[in-house]
Amino acid sequence: MAQRKQLTWTELRVGLFVLVGLFILAVAIFYITGAGILGPKYRLYTYLPEVEGVTAGAPVRLDGVAIGNVEKIALNPHPTDRTQSIQLILRIDKKFSPDVRTDSTASLVTEGLLGDRYVTIKRGLSGSPLKPESTIPGAPAVAMTEMVERGTDLLDTLNSVSGELRGIIDQVQQGKGTVGKLIKDPALYDNVNATVARLNTMVGSIQEGKGTAGKFLTSDELYTKVNATVDNVNDVVGAVKEQKGTAGKLIYDPAVYNSARGFLDNGNAVLSDVRAGKGSLGKFATDEALYNNLRDASGQVRDASAKLNSNQGTAGKLFTDPNLYDNLTAMSGDLRLLIGDFRKDPKKFLHVKLAVF
């Protein structure tokens, strides 16, 4: 009969330490993954078109806050459309149940650019809290493959642009186009060099006091004239302050002020009399009878002019009858002939015959 091996205290102590370490490791794993080992849980379901990179135990977050983990991932046996191809069972801490509502949505998010994917739930605000075993509407996320494809398209576009830029640079280096000629054409350098030489010559002339600009900058004549003008202005201002001349008296003489004030007072008095209806001007401005008379007179003049235009009455015929014009013309002709005969033989018309009865 084989002898039974007895455990020593050292072996037993090592075993206990291993068990405690495994327990601590399990607690740490549950804590890191967001599952937790304490507190009540409840299940929720969601359906997504794909779950690439997501495994059981992946964290579930509510607007970035860990609230549970993914318990199970399975194919949906009866999908209604492509967006419900995969079923995820989520284990959620019950203390977050008031925040997961009917208007919440679940989707996948990649942590960083190349990190792990996890389930994120958008917090609901207006809906009612979801009951256990309910379904959260899923929202499709941009998969990493699509991001890579878009990055590839962007890279192709950048390669195309870089090729075009390389061609432009080659043309510039060959001196083609406006920019190429601007950089490679020696004529531009010669023109710029000649322009700089002209500018240097111009600056030298100015420094020597030649030309209008040179005299303006170097000659003291303009300064002297300006200084003399300023002195004259100062003399005029001083004379005005000393009450000399017309301007000085006009500004400082109180008699001018009194005369102007008296004129204004007289003007105000005249206006007051006019407003009160005094005098001829006041009656003309305020008397309604004068206005009525003028209105009636203008009406009568209008009627008379209308009659003249319509050939009514003696005056109307006098202005508009052509026969009168013809008669007056004939009479003026006869009178001219009579005056001519009278000048030739006045005795013929001045003969006086006396007879005695």
| Structure tokens, 124 | 């609901």
| Confidence (pLDDT) at 45 | 92
Q: Who wins on pLDDT, 345 or 200?
A: 200
In sequence order, which residues have a C-beta less than 8 Å from that of residue 123 and are 6 or more positions away? 62, 63, 99, 100, 101, 104
Identity of residue 236:
V
Check whether 314 has a pLDDT greater than 80. no
The per-type count for the chain, helices as H runs and strands as E runs, is 13, 7
- Region 237-255: mean pLDDT is 76
| Confidence (pLDDT) at 357 | 47
Q: Who wins on pLDDT, 244 or 20?
A: 20
Check whether 104 has a pLDDT greater than 50. yes
| Confidence (pLDDT) at 26 | 74
- Region 285-308: mean pLDDT is 77
Main-chain phi, psi angles of 41, to 5 degrees: -125, 165
Q: Are strands 86-93 and 41-48 parallel, antiparallel or unpaired?
A: antiparallel
Q: Are strands 41-48 and 105-110 parallel, antiparallel or unpaired?
A: unpaired
pTM listed for this prediction: 0.35
Above pLDDT 70, what percent of the chain? Answer: 83
Identity of residue 349:
F
- Region 199-224: mean pLDDT is 77
| Confidence (pLDDT) at 5 | 52
CA distance 232 to 226: 10
Check whether 201 has a pLDDT greater than 80. yes
Check whether 326 has a pLDDT greater than 80. no
Check whether 91 has a pLDDT greater than 90. yes
Beta strand extents in the chain (DSSP E only): 41-48, 59-62, 65-75, 86-93, 105-110, 117-122, 134-136
Quick check: 116 and 51 in contact, CB under 8 A? no
Check whether 206 has a pLDDT greater than 60. yes
Identity of residue 296:
D
CA distance 302 to 115: 104
Q: What is the pLDDT of residues 64-84, one digit of tens each?
A: 899 999 999 999 888 888 888
SS3 273: helix
Check whether 37 has a pLDDT greater than 60. no
Q: How many CA atoms lie within 13 A of 165 on its CB side?
A: 6
| Confidence (pLDDT) at 312 | 66
CA distance 305 to 310: 9
Q: Who wins on pLDDT, 151 or 183?
A: 183
Quick check: 307 and 316 in contact, CB under 8 A? yes
CA distance 273 to 285: 11
Mean residue pLDDT of the chain comes to 78
SS3 277: coil
| Confidence (pLDDT) at 1 | 44
Q: Who wins on pLDDT, 204 or 308?
A: 204
Quick check: 184 and 175 in contact, CB under 8 A? yes
Check whether 319 has a pLDDT greater than 80. no
* Model confidence band, residue 92 (pLDDT cutoffs 50, 70, 90): very high
| Confidence (pLDDT) at 148 | 57
